[in-house]
Amino acid sequence: MTTLHRPAAPTAYGSARLLAGATHGVRADLAAHRAVHGAQQHRTRATLVEETGAVRLLGRGGAAFPVSTKLAGMPTGSSVEVVVNGSESEPASRKDRTLMTLVPHLVVDGALVVARALRTRRVTIAVHDTAAHASLTLALEERRGSEPHPERVSVRLQPARFVSGEVRAVLRGLDGRPAVPPGHRVLPTRHGLGGAPTFASNVETFAQIAVLVSLGARRYAEVGDRAEPGTTLVTLLGDVPAPGVAEVPTGLPLDALLPAAGGPVLVGGYHGHWVADARGLRVTRPSLREAGVPLNAGVVARLPESGCALAEVAAVAGWLARQSAGQCGPCLFGTAAVARDVSTLLYGRPAPDVSARLHGLVRRGACAHPDGTAAFVASALTTMTAELDAHVDRGGCGRPYLAVLPLDDGVR
Ligand code: SF4
């Protein structure tokens, strides 16, 4: 018998859609899923392009690329691959494994909609979390008797390393090669899994497609912000009223998820940006990108005032340096040098070269890791000026390192 690990019960701000029926932390089996979302539906590619475009659906990984544009640019036919990227390798994020564990049929429905629209039967779901793997495997077993489908859906475990979650690293891993980004930029839609054109996107993207097809574009757009209707998932951690995964209507003021006062706020996870004050920010990908703090995979953390914020930054910077795949020099040496600079500051000594080193990381790698690392550290240094002054002037702030930002993703 399959034993399923239950993630912490997610929270819904307003009505849950993605997590409807699962906000108590109980997995929705096929019958429960069908009771909420109805029978599996399908769309032609043209209709799916139209509907995803009508609701301005953006990919829910890091890049927030318009789904309709990606779908419209895909060839169709039996050689096309559909890949669900469930390699949620950011330690702070829990949203995708929550979807895969609690509502796996929603993810499978979305993948089947895309496969049918692209007229292919090839669907691969890549995961690195064993609980998510077990839940998805069980979901396919549940369908075998009552809802057989012609698509060949496989669920495959992949390495848990941070840079292994990048989509091209996932595709390489699925091809049996080292699961690190290739040393050059390639488009999966042209040259993806096994060299075939591949529609690859994040788990939440496929779940959103399933909800969209179930509700129709008009009802889907009844909640949320006009620029990006619907709901989205975030993972909240640190000094917040309800830590864990939350489903929120887009457009919600970000400070509605945070306490009235506290330490600096990290938006977008370990490739994200720090802000001192979240007032004026709203949870939509377009508005956050415009504000210079992209939501990325949806991690929002607020540090408690009782802890040392610079120590949190130093710990993550060191961890990010250790995640480099080691194939691009500026990434391998540059991220390590930046991490050393942050430690130097933490121990009360100036690091005069840190700005130049951060600048040297920008657009210098074959993937987004150096840029993401630079964004995380540079925004910390401009946001935490009082902390920095305390460390450099007095040798420290006197507050302890609380390890609010996890460095181990807890994969079993
Ligand atoms: S930039 Fe870093 S993580 Fe990305 S491919 Fe190059 S070495 Fe690997």
pLDDT digits (tens, 9 = 90+) for 21-55: 787 889 999 999 999 999 999 999 999 999 999 99
**Best of 164, 170, 177, 180 for a ligand 1 pocket test (most atoms within 8 Å of beta carbon):** 180
What residue ranges of the chain are covered by domains with CATH 1.20.1440.230? Answer: 309-394
Calculate the alpha carbon distances from 299 to 144, 312, 335 in Å.
Answer: 35, 15, 22
| Residue 63 pLDDT > 90 | no
Query: Which pLDDT score, from 0 to 100, does residue 4 have?
Result: 53
Query: Which pLDDT score, from 0 to 100, does residue 412 have?
Result: 36
**Which atom of ligand 1 lies at the shortest distance from residue 331's CA?**
2
10-23 residue pLDDT tens: 888 888 999 997 87
The Å distance, Cα 172 to ligand 1 centre, comes to 14
192 vs 368, residue with greater confidence:
192
| Residue 330 pLDDT > 90 | no
Q: Is the CB of 160 under 6 A from ligand 1?
A: no
Q: Is the CB of 326 under 6 A from ligand 1?
A: yes
| Residue 411 pLDDT > 70 | no
Q: Is the CB of 345 under 6 A from ligand 1?
A: no
Q: Put residue 260 in one of left, alpha, beta given phi > 0 → left and psi -120 to 50 → alpha.
A: alpha
Distance CA 340, CA 367 (A): 22
Q: Is the CB of 328 under 6 A from ligand 1?
A: yes
Mean of pLDDT values over 249-258: 95
309-394 maps to CATH 1.20.1440.230: yes
The pLDDT confidence band at residue 409, using thresholds 50, 70 and 90, is low
185-218 residue pLDDT tens: 778 999 999 999 999 999 999 999 999 999 999 9
**pLDDT averaged over every residue in the chain:** 92
The pLDDT confidence band at residue 3, using thresholds 50, 70 and 90, is very low
Query: Which pLDDT score, from 0 to 100, does residue 2 have?
Result: 44
User: For the sheet containing 299-302, what is the strand order?
Assistant: 11-12, 244-249, 231-238, 299-302, 265-267, 273-275
283-323 residue pLDDT tens: 999 999 999 999 998 999 999 999 999 999 999 999 999 98
Per the CATH hierarchy, to which homologous superfamily does domain 11-224 belong? NADH-ubiquinone oxidoreductase 51kDa subunit (3.40.50.11540)
Mean of pLDDT values over 104-110: 98
What residue ranges of the chain are covered by domains with CATH 3.40.50.11540? Answer: 11-224
Six-digit token string for 350: 């100036």
The Å distance, Cα 330 to ligand 1 centre, comes to 9
Of 182, 188, 191, the residue nearest 163 (C-alpha): 182
The pLDDT confidence band at residue 122, using thresholds 50, 70 and 90, is very high
Compute how many other C-beta atoms are within 10 angstroms of the C-beta atom of residue 143: 17
Which residue, by CA, sits nearest to atom 6 of ligand 1?
A: 328
**Which atom of ligand 1 lies at the shortest distance from residue 327's CA?**
7
Give the 3-state secondary structure percentages of the chain, helix then strand then coil, rounded to 5. Answer: 40, 15, 45
Least confident of 91-105, 109-123, 179-193, 239-253: 179-193
φ and ψ at residue 93, rounded to 5 degrees: -90, 140
Q: Is the CB of 367 under 6 A from ligand 1?
A: yes
Q: Is the CB of 161 under 6 A from ligand 1?
A: no
The pLDDT confidence band at residue 326, using thresholds 50, 70 and 90, is confident
The Å distance, Cα 250 to ligand 1 centre, comes to 32
Query: Which pLDDT score, from 0 to 100, does residue 6 have?
Result: 60
The Å distance, Cα 233 to ligand 1 centre, comes to 28
The pLDDT confidence band at residue 145, using thresholds 50, 70 and 90, is confident
Q: Is the CB of 273 under 6 A from ligand 1?
A: no
330 vs 263, residue with greater confidence:
263
Reported pTM: 0.93
Which residue, by CA, sits nearest to atom 1 of ligand 1?
A: 365
**Best of 90, 162, 163 for a ligand 1 pocket test (most atoms within 8 Å of beta carbon):** 163
